[in-house]
Structure 1
């Protein structure tokens, strides 16, 4: 984008100047509306989410067999919720703001199988594809016990098929692990920012890791190109996949059940704020969609992005969605938050969810590392840098009185609020890698 066009765009959208200067900022969406008004734009509904949930239940016996760590949860891939009062107190002091209510963390960072939020959407899409192949081949019936998918016969059948995906790291981990376990030939196209240990883990499972010297968008495009001429190769499209989106969305109803068990109330007087790290948008978009279906207008979803990769904020704020990238306005898309290092947002997610998202904010790598150290020290929770991006959401919400007023979030409601930080990765990080993270945080 030339300087003249950028200046013209910035005159219409003044926050672009702050984005280009890599400043931490927040933007609360003036077009956020009710679930009733916003839902038709998504193109999916409760029936679709219910269908995804039922599919995961069918696969539970297989998952128990293939991954013994799931036996305790009877084959359901789910994460715990943890209160983080010490972190809440620390942040209130650090940022000179009263964070009312209670602050919790959703530990998708420690989901079984692949240790990140991608164990939801990524694994779901592979399972759905495997089911369709086996059903069409007459090797599986919906009435069967899906444990039979663990058989040598089915593994041999899946080995005749392949799967490809482009990833910054965690999605590739999830898809590589489950695909290899089922028997598929799988290729993961990794962007330049992907961690070496993630590549090594995949290779140890027999996954073909294709390394690219450029960013996420190039890795995805190369994966798509490599798969297009092979009728037996299924390309998982992180930028546009509705199946990935639905796999994530199942989290909403599950969270509602967890809250019921913990006696956490969410209603008009007890709002829920959820802070979701955002890369291309599929994971946070799908989770936010599920949350909206589960809690309606009483949940407020806010996306967090690195200052160097604010692609979803850029797309929704300007209304250009995937028609603009951070590189086009002079931002380099280089961040320690590898899972969020995406320059161009999903056009599907942006357009589907823009009316159901309350806001967006950016955070520097330095802030993420500092919070990483705080979380380890104060709450004994170890996370990847990208998973800390959601931590300051409560600060932005608590400070923005214009937003609170517009959304009728009165002082008493804010004092009754639940702030849920969605931690997205870190459970599988090797000890030496985590030690390096902590060293960068000054701990």
Structure 2
């Protein structure tokens, strides 16, 4: 059995990682031609079809969630200039950031207030559409506002949606499933915040709590779904529909960059900083962006010092065969959405040559970044989301024409008292 000492002989950086040091690692196989998993095919056209499905469901979303009315049921977040945050980061950390910074404010996504609203909601809608079409309740050209009718809700009440989560994926799955009329069971890891469990229960979801980490919650949920033919399991580790839903973000970001007059090419590269847990959200977004921008976009993954599972998986090539506990880390972090001991093998193998670099962030730094971002830009982020704000300081980009997109993956649904506690922690 390999120990952290034998692993460190092959990959010396593991010594620093095991001591919870903040590190930056540039991926040596980035951009190299590698064979993709044989059973995976996803094209730009597939991503466009997913976007079209979300647009078909806009009438239902508009009826089910009042906060989406102003956007006609299209659930999308703004791209915000972040000049004040950029200047503050430069001053605080004594480094110049070449190029311009923007915040992709998925913290403001309606319905569930995080990046998980992309993949999680998309997968449930896709499943609901398949059931309804197969039952003859609707055609693809039908009026999708009917999904909010009692006829559809009664039909869906015979089915159960199940998933395992550290928090935000469970929120997105629970909220959209309950709105459609599904029964829903969310298996939550010990890292999950109490307010997220409470909110799910308010929406009518059954929450099963586990005194273990994310992987255990997912395993139990997966087994529960296998034993019930009317259950559907949203698999954060291996789901292609989930991955595709996240990839739609690339089309949305491309539109926003175009509208802002921002060019992405060799002289104007795009760097995107993505907090990473099991890898499905940052992996899907990165995959979509690579389909849109090719070699001119550079995804960078951010992880907590206690749980750099994707970093370890890609660095060693072991992927989900290696846990952060194998090198002495405890997987305990304030960044609950990133508290994952083992990464997705599916995402790791697919994306290992498409991730530009990785960096890790200590919990105290997450609090500090959270406070800085609110003070400068008025953006409320969760600690997990704050991991992205350190990115431009770590990559040492030399191109003055670069665009840096800091993906703020969650925050708007955090109860005020919880957010205030995190904010005050960042001001100490």
TM-score between both structures, scaled by the size of structure 2: 0.97
Whole-angstrom distance in 2 between the partners of 1:206 and 1:253: 33
Match of 1:305 in 2: 303
Equivalent runs, 1:286-325 vs 2, <5 Å: 286-325=284-323
Equivalent runs, 1:356-371 vs 2, <5 Å: 356-371=354-369
| Kept in 1: contact 2:237–2:278 (CA 8 A) | yes
Equivalent runs, 1:209-248 vs 2, <5 Å: 209-248=207-246
Whole-angstrom distance in 2 between the partners of 1:91 and 1:64: 38
| Kept in 2: contact 1:38–1:356 (CA 8 A) | no
Match of 2:386 in 1: 388
Match of 1:163 in 2: 161
Alignment counterpart, residue 405 of structure 2, candidates 420, 425, 432: 420
Match of 1:180 in 2: 178
Q: Summarize deviations over 1:109-136 as a string: whole Å, max 9, x none.
A: 1101000000000000000010111111
| Kept in 2: contact 1:43–1:352 (CA 8 A) | no
Whole-angstrom distance in 1 between the partners of 2:157 and 2:422: 38
Match of 1:51 in 2: 49
Equivalent runs, 1:64-143 vs 2, <5 Å: 64-143=62-141
Residues 280 and 63 of structure 1: is their aligned pair in 2 closer, same or farther, counting only changes over 3 Å?
same
Q: Summarize deviations over 1:113-170 as a string: whole Å, max 9, x none.
A: 0000000000000000101111111112112111111111110000000010000000
| Kept in 1: contact 2:302–2:387 (CA 8 A) | yes
Q: CA deviation at 1:47?
A: 2.3
Equivalent runs, 1:339-418 vs 2, <5 Å: 339-398=337-396, 411=398, 414-418=399-403
1:153 is the counterpart of 2:135: no
| Kept in 2: contact 1:275–1:420 (CA 8 A) | yes
Tell which deviates more after alignment, 110-119 or 6-15.
Answer: 6-15
Alignment counterpart, residue 197 of structure 1, candidates 195, 198, 203: 195
Whole-angstrom distance in 1 between the partners of 2:125 and 2:318: 33
Q: Secondary structure in 1 aligned to 2:25?
A: strand
Whole-angstrom distance in 1 between the partners of 2:302 and 2:107: 16
Match of 1:408 in 2: none
Q: CA deviation at 1:39?
A: 8.4
C-alpha RMSD of the superposition: 1.3
Whole-angstrom distance in 2 between the partners of 1:397 and 1:353: 19
| Kept in 1: contact 2:322–2:342 (CA 8 A) | yes
Q: CA deviation at 1:40?
A: 4.7
Q: Secondary structure in 1 aligned to 2:185?
A: strand
| Kept in 2: contact 1:271–1:299 (CA 8 A) | yes
Whole-angstrom distance in 2 between the partners of 1:267 and 1:47: 22
Q: Secondary structure in 2 aligned to 1:387?
A: helix
Whole-angstrom distance in 1 between the partners of 2:35 and 2:249: 17
Q: Summarize deviations over 1:335-376 as a string: whole Å, max 9, x none.
A: 000000000000000000111110111000000001111111
Whole-angstrom distance in 1 between the partners of 2:367 and 2:111: 25
| Kept in 1: contact 2:36–2:349 (CA 8 A) | no
In the comparison of the two structures, how many residue pairs are matched? 426
Q: CA deviation at 1:38?
A: 5.6
Q: CA deviation at 1:65?
A: 1.2
Alignment counterpart, residue 59 of structure 2, candidates 61, 67, 70: 61
Match of 1:401 in 2: none
What stretches of structure 2 of length at least 5 have no aligned partner?
Answer: none
Whole-angstrom distance in 1 between the partners of 2:85 and 2:291: 29
Q: CA deviation at 1:296?
A: 1.4
Match of 1:430 in 2: 415
Whole-angstrom distance in 2 between the partners of 1:95 and 1:433: 27
Q: Secondary structure in 1 aligned to 2:208?
A: strand
TM-score between both structures, scaled by the size of structure 1: 0.94
Whole-angstrom distance in 2 between the partners of 1:419 and 1:47: 26
Residues 105 and 38 of structure 1: is their aligned pair in 2 closer, same or farther, counting only changes over 3 Å?
farther
| Kept in 2: contact 1:273–1:417 (CA 8 A) | yes
Match of 1:332 in 2: 330
Q: Summarize deviations over 1:51-101 as a string: whole Å, max 9, x none.
A: 211111111111111112212222111000111112111211222211011
Residues 39 and 393 of structure 1: is their aligned pair in 2 closer, same or farther, counting only changes over 3 Å?
farther
